[in-house]
Structure formats: structure tokens, C-alpha cells
């Protein structure tokens, strides 16, 4: 090849490599995908929750492992307390390791979910009769061991600690320790992994309101006390036609506190909306609205779907007009919502 020709070929190659933000070129074809769209918008990832029992379904698995679609994984169940410390001080990471190993093998990111939550606790915690110092020790040990085992991750250290009116949820932790269990858990997580990103995660904080305000006040107060807190996870289990109009403003108010946010459990169910063309179009528009809000806020770092197919969603589908919350239907056909996500990142 003539020198100039070679130079030109190299230039085309480099220009191609630089000018492929939204897609990967594979065999001359352009590959599309949700994670590619997120990364083109300078987000760290678009990911999904999963359960390894779902992986026997080969179509499910092939979509899940595709890094063009998903760059991040959250274990939907197996890193929770009931599975990781079923008996006091006995840590069982086998189930969580299945997820962590998949993440490592595929080169995705992992979100740890979660250290302290009122739900899916082992009996010895939920029915325990602890003094405050005893439970403080139990919380500290659990968070430390969990975050230490899965080092180098983002962690939902605190999950769903507030009621909708902004008061603290009454559970074994609050009832025994008041809100001090929150700094205890966050500090233990930080000791376990100085590099982990530590989050508080909750639902019904998508728009401004009493619960979001209470969480902002909690973050402020933690920061004032020097308690480590890096982010707020906005779960986003939403309903078609009821997406708050203040998503962006709310995220901006959170990040103004000096933290990041992520959408951590996104799904948008139909409710009294038939899953016909019109219902699915409304769902698409709502997905686009949520993703655009994250897209508009620099410190909204990424988005996680709470599983990606209606086949395995935690939300039951009741034909013809309820459920259907995910961007893929139960037969793995992409719904309009899929395109809504892509468009939201543009
Ligand atoms: O593992 C058992 C299985 O052995 C048994 O045969 C079967 C019969 O019901 O139950 C299985 O356990 C279920 C478990 O999911 C694993 O599939 C539980 O009944 C069921 O309650 C549990 O639901 C999980 C739910 O959290 C618990 O509250 C969902 O899968 C999980 O997606 C969901 O995730 C939560 C987030 O952690 C926090 N935010 C809300 C979100 C949705 O509820």
C-alpha cells in the first residue's frame, strides 16, 4: 500500500474508534444497546437486577451477558442478610459469589444490595431480643463482613429506612438503636472498604415531597457528623401515567448536597392501562422521561432496571391491563419502552 494510503487507512481506523460513542461496530455492523447508549451519554452504566435461577433460560442469559445491553448487575436477593448471615456470625457468600463471579467474568460492574433492610432478614435478627450495644455490634459485624467480602463495589448500605411521611421506619434496627444504626452501618462499611461507594437507597423519593426532603435532611446531618455517605439510590418502581414531574429538580437537590445519585431499581408498570399499542406507547414515554432526567443531571451516574423482562419481574402481570413493567416482554421481544430508554439517553 502506498504510504499515503496506509496513513489514510490508519486515520479512518482511529477516527472510527473515536467516533463510535453510542454503539460498537461489529463485523462492519453497528451494534445498539442500552448500556452503550448510557455510556455514550457519559453515564457509567445501564444495568439490571438478576437472580441466578433465571439463567437456565438461555435467551435470558444471552441478553444478560451482553455488555452492549447491561454494564452492571445487582443481585436481586442473594446478598441480603437472610442469605449472607443466616446464623449469628456465620457468613455464607456462596450464592452471592455466583453473581459476583458472573460480573467478573463478563467485565460488568457490581452493585452490592444490601447491608441493612427491614425485609428478608433471618429469624435470629428479626425475632432477636437485643440490647442496643448488642444490636450495634450485630449491624457493624454484618456490614463489615459483607462489604469486605465484596470489596471494590458500590453498596446500598441502608435500604428503605424511611416511611412515606419522612419519619423513620419502625423495625428491629430503629426500635432498638434509634437512627444511630445508620452511621454505625455506614462507618463499618467504610472501614471494610475505604474505596467502596456507600449509598442510602429508597423508594417514593423519585419526586420532591416529604420523604425526599427527609432523606435530604438525613444526608445533611450525616455529612455534618462526618459520617461517610457517597450517594442516594432512587429506586424508581413507577407506574405508567404517574411519573413525578419533579424528577430532575429532585435529583439536582440531592446532588447539591455533595453526593451522587443513581436510579437503582427502575421498572414502570401498567395499572388500568391496557397493554395495547397505546398503553405501551405511554410506557415508552415514561421510560424516556425518567432516563432523560438522569441524563440531564451530571451526577446521576447510572441506571439499573429491576430485571429486564416481564417474564421474571417481581411485579405480577395480570392481562390485559396490569403489570408488564419491563422493556422486554415475556417472550424477549423488545417493547417500545426499550426505544424510550435509548431516546432518553440522547
Ligand atoms: O427462595 C424462595 C423459594 O425457595 C420459594 O420456593 C419461593 C416461594 O414463594 O420463594 C422464594 O423466595 C422469594 C424470593 O423473592 C426469591 O425469589 C420470596 O418469596 C419473595 O418474597 C422474594 O421477593 C423479593 C423481594 O425483594 C422481597 O421483598 C424479590 O425477588 C426482589 O426482587 C425484591 O427486591 C426489592 C429490593 O430488594 C428492594 N426494593 C424493592 C424491591 C422489590 O420488592
Is 152 strand, coil or helix?
coil
Residue 218 is placed in which grid cell?
438525613
217: CB partners within 8 A, 6+ apart: none
- At 208-266, the pLDDT tens digits run 999 999 999 999 999 999 999 999 999 999 999 999 999 999 999 999 999 999 999 99
> What is the distance between the alpha carbons of residues 290 and 238, in angstroms, rounded to a whole number?
10
Say if residue 275 is exposed, middle or buried (CB neighbours under 10 Å; 0-12, 13-18, 19+): buried
**pLDDT of res. 159:** 98
**pLDDT of res. 266:** 99
- The response to whether residue 316 sits with its C-beta less than 6 Å from ligand 1 reads no
Mutate-to-test residue for ligand 1 from 83, 238, 305, 314, highest number of ligand atoms within 8 A of CB: 314
- Phi, psi of 268, deg, nearest 5: -130, 105
Give the residue-averaged pLDDT of 276-289. 98
Q: E-strand spans in 178-258?
A: 197-202, 231-234, 237-239
Query: In which residue are the cell numbers 444497546 written?
Result: 33
| CA of 76 relative to ligand 1 center, distance in Å | 8
Q: For residue 283, give the nearest of 293, 294, 272 by alpha carbon.
A: 272
> What is the distance between the alpha carbons of residues 338 and 288, in angstroms, rounded to a whole number?
9
**pLDDT of res. 250:** 98
Q: For residue 77, give the nearest of 120, 124, 126 by alpha carbon.
A: 120
Mutate-to-test residue for ligand 1 from 76, 79, 204, highest number of ligand atoms within 8 A of CB: 76
- The response to whether residue 265 sits with its C-beta less than 6 Å from ligand 1 reads yes
Give the residue-averaged pLDDT of 160-189. 98
> What is the distance between the alpha carbons of residues 276 and 262, in angstroms, rounded to a whole number?
31
- At 42-69, the pLDDT tens digits run 999 999 999 999 999 999 999 999 999 9
User: Which residue puts its alpha carbon closest to atom 16 of ligand 1?
Assistant: 77
265 is catalytic: yes
* Domain spans in the chain, listed from the N-terminal domain onward: 1-30, 31-344
- At 17-48, the pLDDT tens digits run 443 444 555 555 678 999 999 999 999 999 99
Q: What is the 3-state secondary structure (H, E, C) of 266-321?
A: EEEEEECCCCCHHHHHHHHHHHHHHHHHHHHCCCEEEEEECCCECCCCCCCCECCC
**pLDDT of res. 18:** 40
Residue 8 has what DSSP assignment?
H
**pLDDT of res. 14:** 41
Give the residue-averaged pLDDT of 260-285. 98
User: Which residue puts its alpha carbon closest to atom 23 of ligand 1?
Assistant: 314
- Asked if 103 and 73 touch (Cβ cutoff 8 Å), the reply is yes
**pLDDT of res. 25:** 55
**pLDDT of res. 5:** 42
User: Which residue puts its alpha carbon closest to atom 27 of ligand 1?
Assistant: 120
- At 74-130, the pLDDT tens digits run 999 999 999 999 999 999 999 999 999 999 999 999 999 999 999 999 999 999 999
- Parallel/antiparallel/unpaired status of strands 24-26 and 231-234: unpaired
- Asked if 256 and 310 touch (Cβ cutoff 8 Å), the reply is no
pLDDT category at 12 given cuts 50, 70, 90 is very low
**pLDDT of res. 31:** 82
- Asked if 103 and 148 touch (Cβ cutoff 8 Å), the reply is no
Q: Which CATH number fits domain 31-344: 3.20.20.80, 3.40.640.10, 3.40.50.620, 3.20.130.10?
A: 3.20.20.80
**pLDDT of res. 28:** 53
| CA of 332 relative to ligand 1 center, distance in Å | 22
Amino acid at each position: 500500500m502506498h504510504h499515503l494510503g496506509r496513513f489514510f487507512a490508519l486515520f479512518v481506523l482511529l477516527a472510527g474508534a473515536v467516533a463510535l460513542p453510542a454503539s460498537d461496530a461489529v463485523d462492519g455492523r453497528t451494534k445498539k444497546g442500552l448500556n452503550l447508549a448510557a455510556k455514550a451519554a457519559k453515564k457509567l452504566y445501564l444495568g439490571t437486577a438478576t437472580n441466578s435461577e433465571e439463567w437456565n433460560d438461555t435467551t435470558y442469559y444471552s441478553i444478560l451477558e451482553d455488555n452492549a445491553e447491561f454494564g452492571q448487575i445487582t443481585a436481586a436477593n442473594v446478598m441480603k442478610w437472610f442469605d449472607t448471615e443466616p446464623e449469628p456470625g456465620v457468613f455464607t457468600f456462596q450464592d452471592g459469589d455466583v453473581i459476583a463471579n458472573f460480573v467478573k467474568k463478563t467485565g460488568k460492574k457490581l452493585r452490592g444490595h444490601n447491608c441493612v433492610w427491614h425485609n428478608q432478614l433471618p429469624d435470629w435478627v428479626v425475632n432477636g431480643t437485643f440490647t442496643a450495644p448488642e444490636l450495634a455490634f450485630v449491624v457493624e459485624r454484618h456490614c463489615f463482613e459483607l462489604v469486605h467480602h465484596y470489596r471494590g463495589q458500590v453498596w446500598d448500605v441502608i435500604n428503605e429506612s424511611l416511611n412515606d411521611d419522612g419519619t423513620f421506619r419502625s423495625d428491629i434496627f430503629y426500635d432498638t438503636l434509634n437512627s444511630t444504626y445508620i452511621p454505625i452501618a455506614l462507618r463499618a462499611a467504610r472501614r471494610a472498604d475505604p474505596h467502596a461507594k456507600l449509598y442510602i437507597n429508597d423508594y417514593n423519593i423519585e419526586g420532591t415531597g416529604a420523604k425526599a426532603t427527609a432523606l435530604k435532611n438525613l444526608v445533611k446531618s450525616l455529612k455534618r457528623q462526618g459520617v461517610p455517605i457517597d450517594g442516594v439510590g432512587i429506586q424508581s418502581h413507577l407506574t405508567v401515567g404517574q411519573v413525578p414531574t419533579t424528577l430532575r429538580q429532585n435529583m439536582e437537590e440531592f446532588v447539591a448536597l455533595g453526593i451522587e445519585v443513581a436510579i437503582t431499581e427502575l421498572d414502570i408498570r401498567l395499572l388500568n392501562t391496557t397493554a395495547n399499542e397505546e398503553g405501551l406507547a405511554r410506557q415508552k414515554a415514561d421510560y424516556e422521561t425518567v432516563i432523560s432526567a438522569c441524563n440531564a443531571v451530571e451526577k446521576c451516574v447510572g441506571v439499573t432496571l429491576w430485571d429486564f423482562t416481564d417474564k421474571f419481574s417481581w411485579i405480577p402481570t395480570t392481562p390485559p391491563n396490569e403489570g408488564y413493567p419491563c422493556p422486554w416482554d415475556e417472550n424477549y421481544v423488545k417493547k417500545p419502552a426499550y426505544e424510550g430508554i435509548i431516546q432518553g439517553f440522547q
